[in-house]
Amino acid sequence: MLTRAWSRGLGDSTSPRGATVLELLFDIVYVFALARLAGRVADDLTIVRHALLSEAGQTLLFFAAMWMIWSLNSLMASTYDPRRTDIQVVLLATMFGTLVLAVSLPQAFGQRGMIFACTYVLIQVGRPLFLTLALRGHPMWEVSARVLTWHAVSGVLWIGGGISGGLGRGVFWTLALAIEVAGAASNWPAFGIRGARRDALSKVSYVHLAERYNQFFMIALAEVVLEAGAAISFPGFSTERTATLVAAFVAVVAFWRIYFYHIRPGREATGSLAGEGMQLSRWASFSLLLIVGGIICTAVGFGQVIEDPDPPIDWALVVIIFGGPALFLIGRTYLEKLSPTGPRCRVLLVGVLLLAVAAPPMVFFPPVAASVTAALILAAVGVADGFTHKRGAETNPPL
């Protein structure tokens, strides 16, 4: 009864066009979480080579798990009014839980495994459970009930992995995350619960969701500045370190330019009026996952070169430096729906090809050559993309 009274009108509430201050506060925790993930990637590059793949797999698992939390909360706030007290309580509880997860990351496959698993399950089961109880009698109940069903199943595996430890923990957690990703990709089907996909999609404010994507992108972009700036602060400037710092700045500008200017705002490019939100594709959430992951890899790669600019360069570092921008370009290519006036732009995919061709020879050059080359390719892609779309002089394009 308390839940019903507290959440009265939730199903009929609508999300505002702009993101709320609380959502920006929520993202502050992810500044810390992304820094922790970047630290894990950096550690993966310095451990013994025979354990690299397993350590990198753990980092990827954590990154995807943290991303699932952020994306589902952004979808909730873009479906229901985040200014409501009940939704704000859910966001604040998730924010604290995410902080606990970020603190537990270094020892999640060690002594803090149960803390990580239980906290993750509480977040991912608690959110749809509240929505299911609060939306009883409303058509949107079906959506939250389907999400709850999938996370209840995956939650058993998360807890099982926390109990088992060792190799079993990795197996259980990988299966659990695979279930959640499959559920999100297939729109959370559930036996005995009819879908309300059309109603759910019509309720989502894609203007609000696109703004949340933009804000999270900017937070991830700051990680490049933080990694490069922190790396050069202690040893100080040298020719190689300064060149890498400049390359990192060029990469940041290229990321910003390509992300915000790849599709010109307005009816001609997006099929909607300027300022009404980018036309997100069905796979937009997974596209932003690649974008943010690519930026984190780039940040770590440039930071590692600044810390140790002396040759030779390790092949794994080359993969990070060139693979990061490639992931970003692939993700940005598929973030939006196809323009109704023409085919998908191939400039970004050409950039991926250039990065793939330029990467292998870099193992024979000093580390700074790899960072500078990757930055120059990104800059060239940004310039070419600008000429292709023939944009105006917007300095802050509405998406």
What pLDDT, in 10s, does the model give residues 203-232? 888 889 989 999 999 999 999 998 998 888
Q: Which two tokens stand for residue 391?
A: 């944009």
In tens, the pLDDT along 288-309 reads: 999 999 999 999 999 999 998 9
59-110 confidence digits (pLDDT tens): 999 999 999 999 999 999 999 999 999 999 999 999 999 999 999 998 898 8
Within 10 A of 135 (CB to CB), how many other CB atoms are there? Answer: 20
Q: How many domains does the chain have?
A: 2
The tally of CA atoms less than 13 A away on the side-chain side of residue 165 is: 7
278 and 151 share a domain? no
CA angle, residues 376, 63, 102, in degrees to nearest 5: 115
172 & 306 share domain: no
58 with 115, same domain?
Answer: yes
Instruction: Report the pLDDT value the prediction gives residue 207, as an integer from 0 to 100.
Output: 87
Q: Are 177 and 222 in contact (CB under 8 A)?
A: no
The pLDDT assigned to 52 comes to: 58
Residues 6+ apart with CB under 8 A from 13: 80, 81, 84
d(CA 267, CA 205): 18
Domain that holds residue 154: 2-203
Q: Are residues 69 and 175 in the same domain?
A: yes
| Predicted confidence (pLDDT) per residue in 129-172, tens digit | 999 999 888 888 888 999 999 999 999 999 999 998 788 899 99
Confidence band, pLDDT 50/70/90 cuts, at residue 202: low
Q: What long-range pairs does 21-28 form, CB within 8 A, spacing at least 24?
A: 22/82, 22/88, 22/91, 22/92, 23/74, 23/77, 23/82, 23/91, 23/212, 23/215, 24/215, 25/95, 26/73, 26/91, 26/94, 26/95, 27/215, 27/216, 27/219
Interval 2-29 mean pLDDT: 78
Contact assessment for residue 91 and residue 15, using Cβ atoms and an 8 Å cutoff:
no
Instruction: Indicate the residue among 160, 182, 203 that finishes a domain.
Output: 203
- Radius of gyration, alpha carbons of the chain: 22
Determine contact, residues 207/16, Cβ cutoff 8 Å.
no
Residues 114 and 32 in one domain: yes
Structure tokens at 190: 């559930």
Helix, strand, or coil here: 394?
Answer: coil
Q: How many CB atoms lie within 10 A of CB 108?
A: 24
In this predicted model, what pLDDT tens digit does every residue of 308-330 receive, in sequence order? 898 888 888 999 999 999 999 99
Q: Are residues 131 and 53 in the same domain?
A: yes
- The pLDDT, as a whole number, for residue 323 is 96
40 and 152 housed in the same domain: yes
* The CA-based dihedral angle spanning residues 330, 335, 341, 346, taken in that order and rounded to the nearest 10 degrees: -10
Tell me the C-alpha distance between 250 and 81, whole Å. Answer: 38
Beta bridge partners of 190: 193
Question: Which pLDDT belongs to residue 271?
Answer: 37
**Residue 2: is its pLDDT beyond 60?**
no
176 and 323 inside one domain: no
| 247 shares its domain with 323 | yes
Shared-domain flag, residues 122 and 247: no
Structure tokens at 199: 């109603």
Q: Which of 185, 203, 221 is the last residue of a domain?
A: 203
Residues 58 and 106 in one domain: yes
- The model's confidence at residue 397, banded by pLDDT at 50, 70 and 90, is low
Residue 322 lies in a domain: yes
Instruction: Give the mean pLDDT of the chain.
Output: 85
Shared domain for 39 and 172, answered yes or no, is yes
Amino acid 392: pLDDT:
54
Q: What is the pLDDT of residues 239-284, one digit of tens each?
A: 999 999 999 999 999 999 999 888 644 434 333 333 345 678 778 8
In a domain, 362, yes or no: yes
> Does residue 114 lie within any of the structural domains?
yes
Q: Is it the case that residue 179 has pLDDT exceeding 90?
A: yes
Is 278 domain-assigned? yes
Q: Is 256 left (phi over 0), alpha (psi -120 to 50) or beta?
A: alpha
Inform me whether the pLDDT recorded for 4 exceeds 60: no
The span from the CA of 217 to the CA of 212, in Å, is 9
